[in-house]
Structure 1
């Protein structure tokens, strides 16, 4: 199967929000940062994966990762590399994410993310609703990657 990556545009907003909401992921605030999302589409231009970064100064919070079960780990790796490149182009030097899955921690470590203590989270990131909601999840772990 052929897949292509693209940066989301305003015209993608409806189908992007539908895609993430079907997966049970919040689409709150997506419209304000639509050009901070990377989409992976199949040959029929259907979204099969997405990830976004919510910018805050030189920091960014990865959010709204939704991946079709048809994709392989290599596709997910490509998706992460694309969002990292987009973030760097937009002046984001530090990417943060919250996960509660140990398998994710291992995968993300291979991609250059490191687990950090809650005290190391920049205070401005704690003002983001998405960050606060994620931190309340059981076994939440914070990871960071510096450009």
Structure 2
């Protein structure tokens, strides 16, 4: 199967929101963040994966990672590399993420993310609704990668 990566545009907003909401993930704020999302489409132009970054100065919070179960780990790796490149292009030097999936920590560590304590999160990021909501979940791990 052929897959194509692209930076989301305003015309993609509807299908991107539909894709993440179908997976039970919040699409809050997508309208203002659309060009901070990388999406992967199949040959029929259907979204099969996406990830975004919510910026606050030189910090960014990775969010809304949704991946079709048809994709292989190599596709997910490419998706992560693409969002990191996009973040760097937009001046983001420190990428943060929150996960409650222990299984993803090893993969993220291989991608260069390091686990940190909640007290190490910059105050600017604590103002983001997505960050606040994510920190309320149980068994969360915070990770960061600096460029």
TM-score (norm 1): 0.99
Distance 2:106 2:132 in 1: 23
What does residue 45 of structure 2 align with? Answer: 45
Matched, 1:26 2:26: yes
CA distance in 1 between counterparts of 2:49 and 2:57 reads 26
For the aligned residues, what is the CA RMSD?
Answer: 0.4
Post-superposition Cα deviations, 1:7-47, rounded to whole Å, max 9, x if no partner, equal 00000000000000000000000110100000100011110
Gaps of 5+ in 1: none
Q: 1:35: which partner in 2?
A: 35
1:92 to 2:92 alignment: yes
Q: CA deviation at 1:60?
A: 0.2
CA drift of 1:146 comes to 0.4
5 Å-filtered alignment, 1:12-23, equals 12-23=12-23
Residue 69 of structure 1: how far off its partner (Å):
0.3
Aligned to 1:59: 59
Distance in 2 of aligned mates of 1:123 and 1:142: 14
Written as runs of structure 1 = structure 2, the 5 A alignment for 1:1-147 is 1-147=1-147
Q: Normalising by the residue count of structure 2, what TM-score does the alignment of the two structures yield?
A: 0.99
Q: Where in structure 1 do 4 or more consecutive aligned residues deviate above 4 Å?
A: none
SS at match of 1:91: coil
How far the C-alpha of 1:92 sits from its partner, in A, is 0.2
Residue 90 of structure 1: how far off its partner (Å): 0.3
Aligned residues: 147
Runs of 5+ unmatched residues, structure 2: none
